[in-house]
Structure formats: C-alpha cells, structure tokens
Amino acid sequence: MCGILAVFGCVDSSQAKRARIIELSRRLRHRGPDWSGLHCHQDCYLAHQRLAIVDPTSGDQPLYNKDKTVIVTVNGEIYNHKALRETLKGHEFRTGSDCEVIAHLYEEHGEEFVDMLDGMFSFVLLDTKDKSFIAARDAIGITPLYMGWGLDGSVWFASEMKALSDDCERFMSFPPGHIYSSRSGELRRWYNPPWYSESIPSVTYDPLVLREAFEKAVKKRLMTDVPFGVLLSGGLDSSLVAAVTARHLADSEASLQWGTQLHTFCVGLKNSPDLKAAREVADYLNTRHHEFHFTVQEGIDALEEVIYHVETYDVTTIRASTPMFLMSRKIKSLGVKMVLSGEGSDEIFGGYLYFHKAPNKEELHQETCRKIKALHLYDCLRANKSTSAWGLEARVPFLDKEFINVAMSIDPEWKMVKPDLGRIEKWILRHAFDDEQEPYLPKHILYRQKEQFSDGVGYSWIDGLKDHANQMVTDSMLANASFVYPENTPTTKEGYYYRTIFERFFPKNAARSTVPGGPSVACSTAKAVEWDAAWSNNLDPSGRAALGVHAAAYEDGVPKANNAPVAATASPQKSEVEKTVMAA
C-alpha cells in the first residue's frame, strides 16, 4: 500500500504551502515508508508515500506520461498492467511500475478507462494542459480514499482522513466504484455490474466455474517483487486462500525470488481457536507457519493507536483491527511486505450466521448486495489500514472484480442454507473446492463453521475489552451519551469509550460522519432482527448474537451427523450431484 495526497486550486502557492503539503503527506508515511515524492504545478500538488511492491528500484511516484503533461499518484496494484501495456504500443514507459499504465490509458482513452483496470486502487490524475483532474477508487473500495474541500475553494484527496482533516472544512469517504472529474464537477459511478441493481440473478451454479474464477483471482495476486505470505486463521476463507496459493506458488514469478514454500501467519491469545485451527491447516499445506501471541492487556494498550490508524469508532471493526494491527507489526519485522487475506467471502456468499434465517432467495441476494456495497466502511477499511499502519500490503482475492461478477451471477437459491439438503452457509464455495482426487483441504476444515474474527483470536478478548470499557465509562456518562454525541449515539460503554478516543484525534463533524452508525443490533445489521426478532434485544454487534444458530447446527465446531453436507464426499467434477440437488 501507498499513501497519496493531492490538492488542487490552492490560493496560497508559496513555499510555506509546499512545506505544509509535505508535512501532511508525512502523516501517511506509515503506508509508504520506502520513498516520498511531490509534484507541484502552479496551485496543484500531488504527493506520494511509496510502499515498493512491484519494481522497487524505478517505480517511484508521482508517475508521468512521456512529456510529463499528465501526472498521477496511485495507491494500489494493477494486476493486468502487462496486458494493458500491450495495447499501448505507441507509448513510452519510464518504469516497470504496474501503476504507470494509468497515465498512458488516460492519454489514449480520456476519462473512460477506469473499468479497464483490474486491481485495487485509488488514484488522482492531473492533466496540466487544461489543469483538469480526475480521482477514482476501485470497484469495492479495497483501498481507502477521502475527498475534502478547503475554505479557499481547494479540492483535496487523501488515502487517510488524517492527512486532510485539519485543513478541510468538509470531507467525506470517496465512494467505491466512482470517478470524480473536475470538468463536470461531479462524481459518477464507473462500476456498473449486472448484480449491482439488485435484480435477482439466475445463472445455475457450476462448481468448476466458481473454483477456476477464484484460483485465477489468487494467482494474479502473486505479482510481487518482495517477500509475501498469507494471513491464516484456520477458517474456511483464509484456508482456501492459503491452499490455492500453495498449489500455484511454484508456477509463479514470485517463486523464482522467494522459493516455493509458502509463509503463513496467525495471531491470537494463547490457546485460542484460531491458533489451533491455523496450525492444523498449515501442517496440511506444509507452509512455513508463524504464530504470534498477544495478551488482552497488550491489545488494550494498543487501542488508541489502532483507532488513530483505522479512523473509525465502529465497535466490531476495532475489536477485529487490534489483533490484525499487532500481527502486522510482527509480520513486517520478518521482512515481509505483502500478504493475501480472506476478506469478502461472507458478504458474497451469505456466510454470516444470521443468513441462516433468510426467508427467501430474493432477500438473501439483496442483503449480500448491501453487505458488499458497505465493505469499504468495515472489513476493507480494517484490513487495509491495520496492515498499512506498519507498511504492509493486504491483497484480497475474494474481492477480485471478475470473481465477484461470477459469484454474484449465481442464482441465490444456491446460497440459501438448507439443512434438509445438507447445505450449510457458503455451501457452494465449500463444495466447489471439495475435490476427491486432489483435495485442497481436509473435509472437516472445508466444512468448518465460521468463528467471528474477534472471537477466534481468543474468547476472552471481547470480554476483556468490555471489562476495560466498564472501568473507563460510568453509568452516568452512558446515560447522557445522546447529549454528548447526538450523532450516531453510542449505546454501550465499549462504544462510548471508542468514541471518546476517536473524537480526540478527529473532532470535526465531517470526521464522525464518515463512520457508519445508528443503534447497534445483532450481527451489525437490522436485517438480522427482521429475520429473527429473538436477536432484537442483543446490543452486542458481533456474531455472538447468532450463537443459537451455531449451537443448533454444530457440536464443538463439527457438523452434527444428521446435518453433514450431502455432497461432502463428492467431487465438483461429478455433475450428477448438481442435477440431483437441483431436482430436490
């Protein structure tokens, strides 16, 4: 990951203003500790803090076209940059950076090129010929971007809120899948897949198509010139990422530099569920496994730093960000600069436990759409900022644009939890990788039920956070919360405690408005309550509210015999299985 900052239309273009831009850009140096760059053109500034992953020796930014009339600062990775270069034969490339194609694509296609990019990215581009500029963010919002406005009429963009919050009167989270053009002065959505309208898809589930799409998504993310690994919790999603990576590592360019044994990483309190499960998967895949421990007190001590870096007061995000933040520091100390992670699967496939209560396929599909569209405010924000705090890049193959289009085109009837057919949550993903001839994972791992990340690192973690918040926040403070925090009023002492820390770092109204809010409800969504009123009295926003579902279907994390997947022993290559289940 890198850090970008761009400012356009400054009234003050003095040396003092340049020094201020450098000072603000420096607030993003944790994202890109390898090099700093700044381009000034009249009253326009483009700054960059680089984390060198591809072409470390010559890919410093900002990047330019041949005559330097187009300047671009980019945060992210463009996985199809080599294919795009082939379409730009008449252009002269100065670096081996994957991001340089953006400047040349703009020359070739104008503003209508963003959908050609396959990757995760936020970028700002200046065309000096008419001083116009554009800014864009990837389809799902894997990389962060904020937009702000100064009192002098200036327009600002930054990877993190901390780089513009002091100098902008108003700012907001830049919406995913959008582009801003100074020519029109408007935001418009460039990402318009068929599923985005929430019309109900009807494509029949094909396990091989789904499997191949995911393998392709993983393989393209092995594009790296630096050491890397996989974050492995031992759950389904991270285990599949690790399994596919391990299977294809030997054929990747990365193996020529870093070898063919995959490194995996896990964090937790001692004897936590994740540590045990991850160790089992790592042994099966024969990875070089690294296990990191932390204590509840160490996590509590890190909370202020975590909130400063992740820039939110959302309770579930902070709970899960803290172990990830601590683990990222350890990973970076080993010389690793990039990791693959499993975010996004639960949103795409309806993997959260409250999806057991979805009444029909229409509501399930609409809820998965809503969850994907909100990822940039929750899991994407957590994964990116927790790792970037230590100059570590996280790549998320489940959020590959092509894979999402395949997965979201499947008739959602296949995503419904159906115990009578042996289908647990995310059954179609599990079944797609259930290969008898060449197993990706043991069956008991492939069909293991989800642990909430903040629970999986150790069940006493959440309880420790609540106990600490109870000591820091009095009953009177919480009773008067609506007067102190009338917007997104915290409903628990834990939420109140995080809010007080957040407000110290980011006191403006615009800052608190970038965080999603409203009363906490089970599983962080009102849909859980709508589908099952029994969860309405639970103020804890974690998946613990769905433990009734967990206990009903499982004993000690293992499916009950009468609820075992009917296709657990069948290879996805046996299409008769699909016909049988469809007929049923």
**Pairwise CA distance, residues 351 & 76, whole Å:** 27
Q: Residue 575's CB: how many other CB atoms inside 10 A?
A: 11
Determine if residue 226 is labeled as part of a ligand binding site: no
Q: Residue 192's CB: how many other CB atoms inside 10 A?
A: 10
Q: Enter the tokens of residue 314.
A: 């959302």
Q: Which one is catalytic: 2, 99, 168, 380? A: 2
Strands 119-127, 132-137: pairing kind: antiparallel
Determine if residue 386 is labeled as part of a ligand binding site: no
Please give the full DSSP string across 344-380, using - where no structure is assigned.
THHHHHT-SGGGGG--SHHHHHHHHHHHHHTGGGTHH
Q: Is the dihedral of CA 85, 86, 88, 89 positive or negative?
A: positive
**What is the 3-state secondary structure of 283-347?**
HHHCCEEEEEECCHHHHHHCHHHHHHHHCCCCHHHHHHHHHHHHHHHHHHHCCCCEEECCCCHHH
Told to judge if 380 belongs to the known catalytic residues of this protein, a careful annotator would answer no
DSSP 201: P
Determine if residue 342 is labeled as part of a ligand binding site: yes
**Pairwise CA distance, residues 270 & 267, whole Å:** 9
The CA-CA-CA angle for residues 522, 527, 528, to 5°, reads 40
Element spanning 500, H or E: helix 493-505
Determine if residue 409 is labeled as part of a ligand binding site: no
**Pairwise CA distance, residues 409 & 28, whole Å:** 38
Determine if residue 3 is labeled as part of a ligand binding site: no
Element spanning 384, H or E: helix 379-388
What type of residue sits at position 360? N
Q: How many CA atoms lie within 13 A of 234 on its CB side?
A: 24
- Cite the annotated binding site for ATP by residue number: 231, 267, 341-342
- Cite the annotated binding site by residue number: 98, 231, 267, 341-342
- Cite the annotated binding site for L-glutamine by residue number: 98
Which residues are annotated as catalytic? Answer: 2
